[in-house]
Structure 1
Amino acid sequence: MNKKLMILIFMKRMKLQLHKLYVFVIVILFASCSQSKVQDYDLTKFEENADPVRIGNLIINRFLEQPHSQYGSPLRVNEPRTQITYPDVCTWLGGFWFSTSTNNKGLFNKLSMRFQPLLTTEAYLQPIPNHVDNNVFGTLPLELYRQTKDEKYLEMGMMYAKTQWELPKESVTIQEKAWANKGYSWQTRIWLDDMFMITAIQAQAYRVTKDEKYINRAAKEMVLYLDSIQLDNGLFYHSPKAKFTWGRGNGWMAVGMAELLRILPENNLERKAIMKAYKTMMATLKYYQNENGMWRQLVDDPTMWEESSGSAMFTYAMIVGVKKGWLDKIEYGTVARKGWLGLMKYVDDKGDVTNVCEGTDIGFTNEYYRNRLPLTGDLHGLAPVLWCAYALTEKDL
C-alpha cells in the first residue's frame, strides 16, 4: 500500500473519530441542559441545605424545645400564658402533618406528648370557642383522633367545629346574629386571616366525620370572602376597611383556598368559583415574586421589605397546586421551587425563621405595614415554612 493511500485512510478514520466525539459532546451538553431545566421546577430533589426533611425536623425540634408562645412572638416571652394561641396551633398542626408524611413516629409522639397536659394540668389553656383564632385549636385534637382513633380527641375537636356555627346564647352582637341567620359562621369578620382559621377546623371536622355539611359551609364562607375582598387581579385587601394587600394576610387566603380545594368534593357547587379565584391569585403572585424567590410585606409594592411568612404561605399554596395538578408543573413548579430556595436564607441554624412580620392588626396607611417589625423566631413564620416541608415530602396530598 502506497503512502498516499495510507494517509487517506488515516484521515478518514480521524474524521470518523472526530464525528463520534462531536456527537458525544452534543449529547452530553443536551443532557446537561435538560437536567438543568428539570431542576428548575423539580420539587423532589434539593441540596442538603434545602432538604425539606432536614428543615422540617429542625423547625419542629425548635418548636418543641420552647414553651407555649404568646401569639407566636418572641417579644412577648414574659407575658403570662392564658391560652394556646393560633400561631402555636398552626406550627403544631404542621408538625403532625410533617411527622406523618416522613413516617417519623418518634417525632409525632413528642408532639402528642406536648399536648397531653392540655387534658389535665394545663386544661385552663384550652381556648374559649368564641373567635376564629380560638376555634382553630380544634384542629389539633382532631388530628390526634385521625392518627390514634382515641374518642376523647374527637369530642374535644368537634366541639370547636360545631360552636363556630352555633350562635351563643349570650353576648351576641346584631352583626353576629345577621351572619348566623344567613347561614354563615357567627364569627365572620371578613378579615383575611379567617379563611385559614375557619377552613382548617371545618376541613378537619369533615375529614373525621365524612359529613359534608362541614366542608359545604366552609366553601360557602370562602365564597363570601372572595366576593367581599378579592381584587380583579386575584389579590386581597386585608379587610373592607384596610385596602392594602398585606403579605401574610394574602398568605392566609392562599393557604385557605389550597386546603379547602384539596378535600372539597368535585361536585361541590362552590368549587368552580374557588378554583378560579385560587388560579387568578396564583398567576398574580407569580408576577410579583422577586428575583430572590420572595414576596413583599405588601405584595404589590416593590419598595417594601421581603417578608418570610407570607412568602412561605404562597410557596405552600403553589406546591399543593402543582402536586394536585391544578397548576402547570413547569410554570408554577419553577415559582414554588424558587420560593422554597429563597426561604432558606431566612431559616437560621437553630430552626428560627427570620424576617417574620410581627402580629398585625388592620392598618390604614402604607407606612403602617412598612413599619411593622421583622422578627426572628415568631411562630407566624415557623408554621408556614414547616407546611412547605410537609407538602414537599407528602406523596399523597
Structure 2
Amino acid sequence: MKKILFFIAGILLFLSCSMHKADSVFAPGTIRQTMNKVAEWQIKNPRHAPNDWTNGAFYAGLFAAWETTKSQTIYDAMMAMGNDSTQWRPYKRWYHADDIAICQTYIDLYRIEKHQEMIQPTIDTLAILFENPYPYKGIQVIKWWWCDALFMAPPVLAKLGTTLNDPTYYQYNDQYFKECYDLLYNKDEKLFARDLNYVIKGDTTDRWEANGQRIFWSRGNGWVMGGLARLLEELPEDYPERPFYEQLFKEMAGRVLSLQQEDGLWRASLLDPDSYPGGEVSGSGFFCYAFAWGVNNGLLDSKTYKPAIEKCWEALNNCVNEEGRVGWVQPIGADPRKNFDENSWEVYGTGAFLLAGSEVIKLR
C-alpha cells in the first residue's frame, strides 16, 4: 500500500513541477526577465551591419522589449545604434525594402525624442523610392517581389504616414503591397510564395518539396504575418483599405494555425514538415507574435488561438539557453533549410522572440 501511495505522490509531484514550469513562462515577471536576458545577450553579440535587414527585425523586437520592460540598457543600445553607428540612415539601397527595415525603429524612437535628424534620412530615401522604378538589369519589376519585403517596408510607410499625418505614405504602401500580393499570394493555400522565382510556370524540381507539395517557407510567411500586425497597428481604424489587410491577416492566420506541429513550433517548410524535423524558431516566433497581437486586438478569437500561442511560447522558451541565446534559428537563405540546431542563432530570430514576448505578456 505504501509503495502505491509513494508512486501516486511521485506522479502528482511530477505533474505539479511540469505544470509549474509551464505556468512560470507566462508569468509577467518571468516574461520580462527572459526578454531582458535575451535582448542583452544579443546586444553583446552583434552580427551584420547595424542597419541591414537582419537588424531591422532585431531592433523591431528590441523596441518592443523596451516597451515591455522599460530597460535602460535596451533603450541606450537603440539610441547608440542610431546616434553612433548608423547616423539614422537606412542601409545602402534606396530601392530595396530590406534596407529600410531599420527605419521602423528610427521612427519609433523619434516619437519619443522628437529630433528631426532621426527620421529625415528615411523621408529622403522614400522620396527617391516613390519617384523611381526598381532597377533590375534594365527590366522594370514591381518594388516588392519577395514576401519578406512585407515585413521590411509596409510598417515603415505606415509609421511615417501616421507620424507625419500624411496619408500619401499609406497609399504608396497600398500600391506596392497589392502588387506583391497579386504576384505571390496563393489563394488556394492561403500562403505566400517566397518570391517571383517560385511562381514562374514550369516544373523545376527545386520548387517542390519531397512530398510533392509546393514550397511555402515558414519564415517567409512569418515575415508577412508579423508585418501585417505591425502595419495594422499603425493604420487608422477608418482607413478605406484597412479591411483588405484585416481579411488577409485572418485568412492567413487560420491556415497557419492548421500547420502548427505537436511541439508547438512550425517547420521550415510549412507543407512538408516531415522533411524538416526540427522546429524553426524565427518563423515560429513571428507566428506567435502575430497570433498574440491578433487576439489582443480583437481580430482573432481567443478561444481558438490562445492554446496555440501558449504552446508556441512555451516551446520558444525551451529554445533559449541559460545565457539568453535563442537557438534553432534557420540561417540566412531564400528557402527552407535543414542545417540548423540548438546552436544556430541569428539576430532576426532574437527579434521574433522579443516581438512574441511583447504580445504574449498582454494575453488575458
**In the aligned structure 1, how far is the partner of 2:86 from the partner of 2:327?**
33
- Which residue in 2 is equivalent to 1:318? 291
Q: Aligned in 2, Cα 1:371/1:335: closer, same or farther, shift over 3 Å?
A: closer
- Deviation string, structure 1 residues 282-307 (Cα, Å, up to 9, x no partner): 11111111111110111121302321
Aligned to 2:67: 100
Q: Do residues 162 (structure 1) and 130 (structure 2) align? A: no
Shift of 1:278: 1.4
- SS in structure 2 of the partner of residue 51 of structure 1: helix
User: Per the alignment, in what secondary structure is the counterpart of residue 154 of structure 2?
Assistant: helix
User: Structure 1: which amino acid aligns with 2:225?
Assistant: A
Partner of 2:351: 383
Following superposition, the deviation at residue 128 of structure 1 comes to 3.8
The within-5 A match list for 1:234-245 is 234-242=190-198, 244-245=215-216
- The 8 Å contact of residues 234 and 278 in structure 1, kept in 2 or not, is answered as no
Identical residues among aligned pairs (%): 23
Contact 2:268 2:337 survives alignment (8 Å) = yes
Q: How far apart are residue 388 of structure 1 and its match? A: 0.9
User: How far apart are the structure 1 equivalents of 2:254 and 2:135?
Assistant: 43
Query: Mapping of 1:226-241 within 5 angstroms?
Result: 226-231=181-186, 232-241=188-197
Partner Cα distance (2:222, 2:282) in 1:
8
Alpha carbons of 1:295 and 1:205: their partners in 2 closer, same or farther (altered >3 Å)? same
* Aligned counterpart for 2:233 among listed residues 262, 265, 268: 262
Quote how far apart the aligned CAs of 1:53 are.
0.8
Equivalent position amino acid for 1:59 in 2: V
1:118 shift after superposition: 2.5
Distance 1:175 1:317 in 2: 35
Question: How far apart are residue 309 of structure 1 and its match?
Answer: 0.5
> Which residues of structure 2 form unaligned runs of 5+?
1-18, 199-213
What is the Cα deviation at residue 317 of structure 1?
A: 0.6
In the alignment, is residue 91 of structure 1 matched against residue 64 of structure 2?
no
- Of 24, 29, 32, the residue aligned with 1:53 is 32
What pairs with 1:307-386 in structure 2 (closer than 5 Å)? 307-361=280-334, 363=335, 369-374=336-341, 376-386=344-354
Q: Distance in 2 between matches of 1:371 and 1:247?
A: 12
Per-residue displacement from partner, 1:15-70 (whole Å, max 9, x unpaired)?
xxxxxxxxxxxxxxxxxxxxx9xxx9x9x98158x932122101210122124x22
Residues 254-299 of structure 1, C-alpha deviations (whole Å, 9 max, x = no match): 1111212222223333322222221111111111111111101111
Q: Is the 8 A contact 1:118 1:125 kept in 2?
A: no
Please tell me whether the aligned partners of residues 98 and 390 of structure 1 are also in contact (alpha carbons under 8 angstroms): yes
| Cα pair 2:226 2:286 within 8 Å, conserved | yes
Q: Distance in 2 between matches of 1:274 and 1:264?
A: 10
User: How many residues are paired up?
Assistant: 324
The corresponding residue for 2:161 is 206
Q: CA deviation at 1:326?
A: 0.4
| Conserved? CA contact 2:144–2:177, under 8 Å | no
Q: Which amino acid aligns with 1:259?
A: R
Distance 1:126 1:171, change over 3 A: closer
Calculate the aligned-residue CA RMSD, in Å.
2.8
Shift of 1:251: 0.6
For residue 84 of structure 2, what is the amino acid of its counterpart? P
So what's the TM-score if we normalise by structure 2?
0.80
Q: Distance in 1 between matches of 2:35 and 2:125?
A: 28
Aligned counterparts of 2:284 and 2:32: Cα–Cα separation in 1: 19
SS in 2 for 1:276: helix
Per-residue CA deviations over 1:175-203 (Å, capped at 9, x if unaligned) read: 43x64xxxxxxx322x1111111112212
Q: In structure 2, what residue type is equivalent to 1:383? A: G
Q: Deviations over 1:116-164 (max 9, x none)?
A: 21256xx999534232111223223222211100121121232333333
> Larger C-alpha radius of gyration, 1 or 2?
1
Of 267, 280, 284 in structure 1, the residue corresponding to residue 255 of structure 2 is 284
Instruction: Output the TM-score relative to the length of structure 1.
Output: 0.74
Summarize the Cα distance change of 1:171–1:236 in structure 2 as closer, same or farther, 3 Å threshold.
Answer: closer
Letter in 2 for 1:355: W
